[in-house]
Amino acid sequence: MTKKKVAKSKLSLEDKYKLYEDSVQCHEADIDFIKKEYKKLYKKNAVVFREDFGGTAAMACDWVKLSPKNKAYAIDLDPEPVKYGKENHYLKLSDEEQSRMQYIMGNVLGPQKFKSDITVAFNFSYFIFKKRAELLDYFKKVHKSLNKDGVFFLDLFGGSDCCEPLEEATEHDGHTYYWDCEKFNPLTNEVLYYIHFKMHKDKVKHEQVFTYDWRMWSPMELREILDEAGFSESFTYWEGTDKDGSGDGNFYKSDDEENCESWVIYIGAKK
């Protein structure tokens, strides 16, 4: 029997964020969704995009490639993902595209000098706000920083599996990605999640490469707080399913669905 190798993460910065992006992000699909939904709501294209909790800002860098009119800002307070993003995404843009994209090293709660048509808080990053008053404060600041025809998009996950201590493994080319729910407190909805990676080439499992100490919010809680923050209307978007019952990548507005083991939704909120 082979002995299971477990190592504290010694991944390089390059590997850490490459593995993260390959396993977790599908920002092309996110961009496609927000672009189409904005157009449906306002019959025009969004131009200024703000990516809150942007990390490497892969999404903001792609936004400026869509049109020579587009501008993007990505806000994150951690220099580590920002460094990776500048080296691996920003530097691949043309000089002209770079002039329309800006990394902002700072807090999403801080004041900004620009207004956006679309602001996103993706990959559940706003779960760091564990108190209702903190989340309300953040939503109010997003609301203030949007243009008149502005929309705020968030994503959210849930389902019966998300509240169980459970380690879920997904195979990718060259590595296994683990989404590990270490604990869930049913009284506060606080959760502790880890991301681990195992490299296929040496079978070394890098433990706790990312840690998330979060509060799980529910769709209606979020919509009520968005309403209180001043948003005029909000929508939940549920994912369609293909023949074998897995998500088909098409999200539609809905207020009533059957629960399942695991779901991811978008919420959109109009200024």
Tokens of 77: 């307070």
Q: Under rule CB under 6 A, how many of the chain's residues touch ligand SAM? A: 17
| Residue of minimal Cβ distance to ligand SAM | 55
Report CA 234 to chain centroid distance, whole Å.
18
Q: Does 23 bind ligand SAM (CB under 6 A)?
A: no
Q: Is 126 in the site for ligand SAM (CB under 6 A)?
A: no
Binder of ligand SAM out of 34, 81, 89, 198 (CB under 6 A): 81
CA atoms of 50 and 34, how far apart (whole Å) = 12
Any idea which residue has 């604990």 for tokens? 183
Does 75 engage in binding with ligand SAM (CB under 6 A)? yes
* Site for ligand SAM contains 125 (CB under 6 A): yes
Contact between 123 and ligand SAM by CB under 6 A: the answer reads yes
Please tell me whether residue 85 binds ligand SAM under the rule CB under 6 A: no
Whether 60 and 72 have beta carbons less than 8 Å apart is answered as yes
- Asked if 31 and 59 touch (Cβ cutoff 8 Å), the reply is yes
160 is an interface residue for ligand SAM by CB under 6 A: no
Binding mask 171-200 for ligand SAM (x = CB under 6 A): ------------------------------
Stretch that binds ligand SAM, among 11-19, 76-84, 85-93, 157-165 (CB under 6 A): 76-84
The one-letter code for the residue type at 208 is: Q
Q: Can you tell me the distance from the alpha carbon of 112 to that of 244, in angstroms, rounded to the nearest whole number?
A: 46
- Looking at beta carbons only, is 78 or 167 nearer to ligand SAM? 78
Question: Among 119-127, 193-201, 222-230, 237-245, which window interacts with ligand SAM (CB under 6 A)?
Answer: 119-127
- Residue from 67, 99, 107, 170 binding ligand SAM (CB under 6 A): 107
Applying CB under 6 A, the span of 118-126, 141-149, 177-185, 222-230 interacting with ligand SAM comes to: 118-126
Q: Which stretch binds ligand SAM (CB under 6 A): 4-12, 101-109, 162-170, 173-181?
A: 101-109
Taken as a whole, the chain contains a residue count of: 271
CA separation for the pair 253, 237 (Å, rounded) = 4
CB of 92 to ligand SAM, least distance (A): 18
Q: Which residues bind ligand SAM (CB under 6 A)?
A: 24-25, 53-55, 75-78, 81, 107-109, 122-123, 125, 128
